[in-house]
Amino acid sequence: MNAKKLIALLLAAVLCLSFAACGGNDEPETTTEAPVADSTEAVDATEAPSEVESTEAASEVESTEAATEEATEEATEAVSEEETEAAAKKPEGTAAIVEYFNTAVNKVKTDAKSVKQNHVTNYLAKSPTLPSAIGGIYKILGEDKWLDGMLVDNSHGSATYTGADIDAKFPVEGESWASKLTAADVKSATCTEKDGVYTITVVAKADAKSDSVKHGQGHCPKAFNVVLPGVINDNIPGIATGIVGLSTVDYPMGKAVITVDAETGNVKTAEYDVQWTINFDKIGAAIPLGTRSSYVVTF
């Protein structure tokens, strides 16, 4: 986002108002009487081939059944191993999901061929808190609809980034990394899988008001494009400081949803939504803002 332009826009609005006033079968047993001594050899000669053939046939059946069972077991084990291996790749638990998220989005900065920005849209997160003295002027101007319209007008549409422009524009802007989140920085982290694609959703914890937080600090500033208090205060003209004072900024919400190719670990799409509030405590003003951004990544 063009932070300086947005800040100038908001300051102008605040100043204007101030001046005016985010199995087998059992075979039946055959009983045969013992032959007399002199006929034993004849019986043996007659029956022996049958018994041998029967034994060989049974052996062949048993051998075939054993081979079939072995093949079935091997096939079952192979499928089981494949399923286990696939399941092992999917991150489980907050810490593992956050680590996977970091690896995937940081890879965009180093390996992506291009990042297509679908949009970066600024919006009013909720009604601002304003001094009663200027509430009447805000109402006359159109209240939230007026301010939200100004923010949307300062949004950005489609653009494609390559090379150094990816670092400059893909979250976090101007950094060589896209996330430094830890498990302690998030309220929740989930991962689902469908057709070989992971969908990872990470929601960062809220950050309290600060006049000095930087990228890589706190919670939301570790993974989202946020306007930093230092940038705001560096751009407040001296005459405005005398009227509104210096600002503090808090980040009540940051949510990122990425889709990742499970086989390669490459990000396919990324959606970000972060909310941030500019506070001018001197005049009792708080302006809750938000920024939604959407990207398609090509490796």
Could you tell me the mean pLDDT of each successive run of 10 residues in the chain, 299 residues long? 59 57 42 45 45 53 57 54 56 98 98 98 96 87 94 93 96 96 98 97 97 96 95 86 91 98 98 97 95 97
Whether residue 193 sits in one domain with residue 54: no
Going by C-beta distance under 8 Å and a sequence separation of 6 or more, which residues neighbour residue 207?
A: 213, 218, 219, 220, 221, 250, 251, 252
Distance CA 170, CA 109 (A): 8
Q: What is the pLDDT of residue 136?
A: 86
Q: What is the pLDDT of residue 7?
A: 59
Q: What is the pLDDT of residue 154?
A: 87
Whether residue 146 sits in one domain with residue 74: no
Q: What is the pLDDT of residue 230?
A: 93
Range of the domain at 246: 3-18+92-298
For residue 110, being part of any structural domain is answered with yes
Q: What is the pLDDT of residue 76?
A: 52
For residue 225, being part of any structural domain is answered with yes
For residue 131, being part of any structural domain is answered with yes
Whether residue 52 sits in one domain with residue 10: no
Whether residue 165 sits in one domain with residue 47: no
Whether residue 84 sits in one domain with residue 223: no
Q: What is the pLDDT of residue 73?
A: 61
Distance CA 161, CA 109 (A): 11
Whether residue 222 sits in one domain with residue 179: yes
For residue 32, being part of any structural domain is answered with no
Long-range contacts of the stretch 131-138 (C-beta < 8 A, 24+): 131/18, 131/283, 131/284, 131/285, 133/21, 134/17, 134/18, 134/20, 134/21, 136/21, 137/16, 137/17, 137/20, 137/21, 138/17
For residue 48, being part of any structural domain is answered with yes
Whether residue 233 sits in one domain with residue 110: yes
Whether residue 66 sits in one domain with residue 130: no
Whether residue 109 sits in one domain with residue 76: no
- Give the total number of structural domains in the chain: 2
Q: What is the pLDDT of residue 29?
A: 46
Whether residue 125 sits in one domain with residue 46: no
Place of tokens 């077991």: 73
